[in-house]
Amino acid sequence: MMSKYKSFSVHSGICSCRRAIAAVAAGITAAALPLTILGVGTVGAILFKVSNISAHTMMPTAAVSSHENEPVSEAENSASQTQEEQPTSSEEAAEPKKASGGRETDNTSSDTSSQTEEKSEQKDSGKGKVSEKQIQNSGYSYSSVYVKDGNSNYNLDIKKLLNTSAKCKIKKNAGYQVLIVHTHTTESYAEKSQDWYSKKYNPRTTDKSESVVAVADEIEKKLEAAGIRTLHITTYHDYPEYTGAYDRARKTIKAYLKKYPSIEMVIDVHRDSITREDGTKIKPTAKIKGKKAAQVMIITGCDNEGKLDFGGWRDNSIIAVQLQKKMADKYAGLARPLYFAPFRYNMDLTPNSLLIEFGTDVNTLSEAKYSGQLVGNCLVDVLEKYVVK
């Protein structure tokens, strides 16, 4: 039986409604412009509070169905746009925690005060449930690769892609070969593993040691150790302003591709969010070699309707499918199904661009960092076949 779940944007598969919704969105956006001129603040945040409309897609809240009773994640719920749009959630309107302020609680506090805080939090009416589970394989598949398809006009020939060489030439111990960036640099994780969360908690921080930046550090270490020079850029693109993060990230990527033409691959590292209609948050985990890891989702884009100026999307799908295969074979359960999405997300800038989501906002940082290490190992294995003298 199919279940319905709450999201903050419309699932990309509802293609028949896209044009009508876009027209409505345009009208809402136009109506909201005077608010910005008057200096009222972020239009998206105001609209979200007043009418529960997404801050960036300007789409109404929708109940959507998904395969095997699984809620649809924040990343999968963005509507297909001709411009760079980012997945949205309620956390956008809130300020990320500043680096100097730490996370939600002070780790130096005594055990007694921590227990008191926890008891107080449990009485909070804004408390929500956390459901920890391993998201199972779904969608169409070949061999050990599973694909969840958000497109209406294309699908992936997995067998063919596994046997196709990517447009990738890696030179070891040479110039930079891989560029790692973060469109949403402040995305962070839960402070600890538990079966509940406070709805007051905002999983964003400017402390790069506790955000997705720390996860990407683990990937960088693995690549560098293998002689694959990696440039990790930690520029904030979603702070102090969230809206337009993809546009700002695009400028950053283009600047570094120009500065270092040796770069063959760009990886945008994110953290996902999955929330059911009843407010339950999903914590996707897998036990790898006796240790808990946050499950990982690769996203590869597609110019589904020919409106994204993204003619080279097929090139990206080669490296994405090959990495998915490596993760499935090397670390069973680590990867969620690859999401074949009707988006561009700056993947048009190189033929080997990836967007990877590490866990959700209720996974812990340690779980996500462990996944970074595992994905780093898999990336090394995949890129080894593209090493040239």
Beta carbons of 264 and 178 less than 8 angstroms apart: yes
Convert 45-58 to b/e letters by CB count within 10 Å (16 or more is b).
Answer: bbbbeeeebbbbbb
Are 203 and 75 found together in one domain? no
Sequence-ordered list of residues with C-beta below 8 angstroms from that of 26, at least 6 positions apart, any chain: none
**What is the predicted pLDDT for the residue at 71?**
63
> Are 191 and 270 contained in the same domain?
yes
Number of residues that this document lists for the chain: 389
Instruction: Pick the last residue of a domain from 72, 90, 108.
Output: 90
Residue 83 belongs to a domain: yes
> Which residue has tokens 């683990």?
218
Is residue 112 a part of any domain in this protein?
A: no
Which tens digits make up the pLDDT trace of 260-298? 999 999 999 999 999 999 999 999 999 999 999 999 999
- The reply to whether 349 falls in a domain is yes
**pLDDT per residue as tens digits for the range 89-105:** 444 556 788 764 333 32
Instruction: Say if residue 306 is exposed, middle or buried (CB neighbours under 10 Å; 0-12, 13-18, 19+).
Output: exposed
Q: Are residues 147 and 253 in the same domain?
A: yes
In the chain, the number of structural domains is 2
Each of the 389 residues of the chain gets a pLDDT tens digit; together they read 333 233 333 333 333 444 444 444 444 333 333 333 223 333 333 333 333 322 222 222 222 223 334 567 877 765 333 344 444 344 455 678 876 433 332 232 334 444 445 545 445 558 999 999 999 999 999 999 999 999 999 999 999 999 999 999 999 999 999 999 999 999 999 999 999 999 898 999 999 999 999 999 999 999 999 999 999 999 999 999 999 999 999 999 999 999 999 999 999 999 999 999 999 999 999 999 999 999 999 999 999 999 999 999 999 999 999 999 999 999 999 999 999 999 999 999 999 999 999 999 999 999 999 999 999 999 999 999 999 98
Within a domain: 105? no
For residue 119, being part of any structural domain is answered with: no
Residue 106, in any domain of the structure = no
Give the integer Cα–Cα distance in Å for 250 and 218.
Answer: 23
My answer on whether 249 and 317 are in the same domain is yes
Domain boundary at 90, 120, 143, which? 90
Q: Are residues 86 and 135 in the same domain?
A: no
Query: Burial code of 157-194, b = ≥16 C-beta within 10 A, e = fewer?
Result: ebeebeebebebebbeeeebbbbbbbbbbbbbbbbeee
Q: Are 146 and 80 members of one domain?
A: no
Do 10 and 139 lie in one domain? The reply is no
Q: What is the pLDDT of residue 70?
A: 56
We report the CATH number of the domain holding residue 154 as 3.40.630.40
Verify that 223 and 299 share a domain, yes or no: yes
The answer to whether residue 78 is domain-embedded is yes
Point out the domain boundary residue: 90, 120, 152: 90
Res 78: pLDDT: 52
User: Do 136 and 86 share a domain, yes or no?
Assistant: no
Domain with 64 in it: 4-90
Q: What is the pLDDT of residue 90?
A: 41
Tell me, yes or no, whether 184 and 278 share the same domain: yes
Do 248 and 309 fall into the same domain? yes
If asked whether residues 195 and 66 sit together in one domain, one would say no
For residue 110, being part of any structural domain is answered with: no
Q: What per-residue confidence (pLDDT) applies to 67?
A: 33
Euclidean distance between the first and final Cα of the chain, in Å?
Answer: 54
